[in-house]
Amino acid sequence: MKIKIVEVGLRDGLQNEKTVLPTEVKREIADRLITAGIRHLEVTSFVHPKWVPQLADAEQLAKELSKRPAVTYRALVPNRKGLERALETAVDEFAVFMSASETHNRKNINKGIDGTFPVLAEVVELARERGKKVRGYVSTVFGCPYEGDVPVSQVIKVCERLFEMGVYEVSLGDTIGVATPVQVKAVLKELIKHFPADRLAGHFHDTRGTGLANAYVAMEMGITTLDASFGGMGGCPYAPGAAGNLATEDLVYLLHGMGVETGINLDALCETSLWVEKRLGKPLPSKVLRSYAGS
Ligand code: HMG
Ligand code: MG
């Protein structure tokens, strides 16, 4: 089995931190993560700086990324304006995002679901004209902080529209970390009837400690791309109660225990997270990291 890990800590992680890290520190984190073996790196987000001030330096950071073969730099773009900003940088690949639930979509990107489709369709079309691949994210797949349960039919509808636009993959977000393994299995069973498993990714937040179990079940269901965040940082500023992503350290430990080669040096990854902890002035929640720090 081969699992692709998409490291989202510089984006999903830092967007939720009170401390705003200087651009050069972010750049050094990117370099350290790559040295540790990360190959798919979401570096920032070209959203409105007023909405997410932590990532207001998106251009500055993304213009000066050190080019390394086999490394894909990724960034979120919410609309045409975001894409135009991102196209001026060294980012290789973009991601559009929306929610399966109406209220979270409105809180997060200030538009209803139906009004979001044409905005994202334009982004995907223009990006592809420029030879860029685009990923789609669907948030609140397993539950919404405002609406509670989200019908699978709604998730399918949003995924269908994103694939029609031309995204190559949809990452399924458990935005507030409410999913449990039985639910993940049931939802994926339905989704896989409509979309090939290798075009879906799992984006689990570990708010309630189920992130790793959910990732394991997703792999059993045929998912081979998983998002994770170094140290277990993360959260959506427009989803109350959202906490850290599944920690990359915890995922890598699990995968190595399963005999799955990741190309990631776990010690080097933990050292990177410890280095970031010093900059943030607080410990990060990854279980494997805490064990490494205490050893
Ligand atoms: P809006 O205020 O509705 O935008 O924001 P607008 O189109 O009405 O434009 C208003 C002004 O903003 C205009 O400027 C635009 O030019 C400007 P003015 O003419 O008034 O001077 N503007 C921009 N400026 C810079 N960059 C842009 C941009 N767009 C418009 N891209 C918008 C709409 C989407 C921009 C806003 O709601 C936003 O930035 N939201 C970001 C929310 C966010 O980043 N959330 C977290 C990421 S999603 C997530 O974490 C979930 C995920 O991890 C998966 C999971 O866990 O589920 C992916
Ligand atoms: Mg997220």
Task: For 270-288, write each residue's pLDDT tens digit.
Answer: 999 999 999 999 999 999 9
**Total-model pTM:** 0.97
Phi, psi of 204 (to 5 degrees): -100, 135
Give CA–CA dist 288/252, Å, rounded.
9
- Give residue-wise pLDDT tens across range 191-250: 999 999 999 999 999 999 999 999 999 999 999 999 999 999 988 788 887 779 999 999
Please give the single-letter amino acid code of residue 181: P
Pocket mutation for ligand 1, best pick of 17, 48, 57, 142 (most atoms within 8 Å of C-beta): 48
Sign of the alpha-carbon torsion through 231, 91, 93, 116: positive
Q: How far is the CA of 42 from the centre of ligand 2 (A)?
A: 11
Please, are residues 260 and 2 in contact by the beta-carbon 8 Å criterion? yes
> Is 236 assigned a catalytic role?
yes
Count of CB atoms situated within 10 Å of the CB of 241: 14
Count of CB atoms situated within 10 Å of the CB of 107: 18
Q: How far is the CA of 206 from the centre of ligand 2 (A)?
A: 10
Ligand positioned closest to the Cα atom of 46: 1
At 239 the pLDDT is 80
At 285 the pLDDT is 94
Q: What is the interface pTM, i.e. ipTM, of the complex?
A: 0.98
Mean pLDDT score of the chain, rounded to an integer? 96
At 103 the pLDDT is 98
Ligand 1-lining residues (CB < 6 angstroms): 12, 15, 45-48, 51-52, 78-79, 81-82, 85, 97, 108-110, 137, 139, 173, 175, 203, 205, 236-238
